[in-house]
Structure 1
Amino acid sequence: MTTPKLFSPLRVGAMEVANRVVMAPLTRNRARAEDDAPVALHAEYYAQRAGAGLIITEATQIVPEGKGYAWTPGIYSDAQIAGWKEVTRAVHDKGGKIVLQLWHVGRVSHVSLQPDGKAPVAPSAITAETQTFDGTQFVAASAPKALETDEIADLVAAYATATRNAMEAGFDGVEVHGANGYLIDQFLRDGSNHRDDAYGGSVENRTRFLKEIMDAVTGVIGADRVGVRLSPYSNANDVRDSDTFGLFSHVVDLLDGYGLAYLHLVEGQTGGPRETPEGDEIARLRKRFRGVYMGNNGYDRQMAIDAVESGDVDLVAFGKLYISNPDLAERLKQDAPLNEPNTATFYGGGAEGYTDYPTLDQPRAVA
């Protein structure tokens, strides 16, 4: 029997990956509380999952102001860089590839998580109808402050610095997080961007922030080590647009011109239904991108195999399945049973529900 293409190697920009099974970015809220640095537990966790063709790290804030949830890691301090070095070393020692997801939450934050208790920042002073986690409980997002033009330039520079830091930490590349209602997505959508300057109004203006970030990040490491994640039809964290397909057609066309390592789309609602309003918009967007395409959202084994065989996708990102199955790529290849996840340990805590899930050659039960 021929091995499905899902389990075959692929060139992804500057990276050669062993298979097309990707570990999606998964926020797990286990960074060190005092400095948002990764710890030894992170190195163990990611190394366990090095059998993925590519690992995308949990979302990682590029500046202190980019934080929206308790105990999420950063990539702006020496301690954070040192912590991530241990992660990349552990993954590479197992033969894996790993990229860092660059994150700024924008208005999806709370004053208790911001430096000096300041208001979160956003393209416009419009509060998101969503919640975040402050370390004790889920709380409503705080009212944001609209960014000044010079502050936008500072953030673009911060993306470049974060990219340099990621490379110092030993990553194979970076993924720019433009999805799920966070800062870049807030700029893109006319529901959250009411600016009247060069960053608001027309589609060209609303995509300017993303373009400047892409110019900065690719200018540091080259486009072939950069991926981008988008969620065109997701309303996560209260984002909407009056012409979603028109907007994201422009965005995908823009990104196609860079020669990126890959484009990563959440197909449908984040963690929800895959359907889009007119039925085939994701396929239409995917056809506008000539590079490596990564599909994400609700894939099971057969869906993933079929999608890669047909050429609809080149890579498939799996999220929750990677929480409870560190050797997911091998389990999928063998069509082996999957571990059930412990949802109570998804966010925060220690090793329980994080590094204690059994692999096929370690048949022990999770406590």
Structure 2
Amino acid sequence: MLLPSNHPLYSLLFLFFLHNLPPYTAARPAPEFPWKQLTETTVNNYHHYFYNRFLNSRRGSHVSGLSEIKRYFHHFGYLTFEAHYNISDDIFDAPLESAILHYQSKLGLQVTGKLDFDTLTQVLSPRCGVPDKQPSPTLHATKNYVFFPGKPRWARRIPMTLTYGFSPDNMIRSLSLSDIKEAFKLAFSTWASVIPVNFVEADDYGFADIKIGFYSGDHGDGEPFDGVLGILAHSFSPESGKFHLDAAETWAVDFEVEKSSVAVDLESVAVHEIGHLLGLSHSPVKGAVMYPSLKPREKKVELSVDDIQGVQSLYGSNPNFTFSSLLESDISANRAADLRFESSLWAISMILAASFL
């Protein structure tokens, strides 16, 4: 049951988050997602409170708790400042406005420069921990994919094989190992279907190209996890091979079995992070798997045209893949679900036409 908006519990919760922040460590501190330590039953209540406090804040506003918004934008690369800048104040200043404008533009939101509803919703969304501070997207027709600086890729002869392994010391018990492995097998096969790269599970974790594990808090790579929701996982550009997931999440492989409202789909996160391991940074295309956020109980495992064009720019195309087969697959899925697909067919056709201009 939702509490009244003026209930004193909201003020107590807010003071708790402001005055009980974790101590700084040598690692880059994770941003304080305002609701990340709340229980599952109070997340919706705090979302309501969060919107009431910050909605439509703009340059010149002074709102208690705005410093947490500043920390969020600083962590993900949007807010940079000189040594004298006070990140701890609650003033909506020019640097914050500039950061929000960049954030909105980068993530395909309406560019308003204020904390409107869509922007606050995006800030509250669980997401990948990899910063978005990469260069501007490659703008050519409908291409929006982004690479890491220097356009790194795995420097091996095409076709190539990459091995992956699971840390024997850093796993979770809430899912069986077989379920975890199956989710990752599906995620790797998604990328392998469009590029000439094969992924094989290694017999020896120590010699695997890609090393997968579940970790909590500060785990030694300078990018600490933050508990339930907030940052879900992170990986690194080629050829690091490090793939870390937050052990605190309620990871799911079947939402029919896992009923938690804060459950996170393991395969969806795996598909996204593998994209980073291959060399893709975050895309501003909301339908792309390389878009940085994923809502609880959302499943997002199908590569978009933008994802495919980006990764094929690095590795070339799987000989068995054609965009026409992708289109046919999309149409069949829509028919099976009795959905209208004419507009999607037109949009994808236009994308295909533009890609050959």
TM-score where L is the length of structure 2: 0.25
Q: Which has the higher strand share?
A: 1
- TM-score calculated relative to the size of structure 1: 0.25
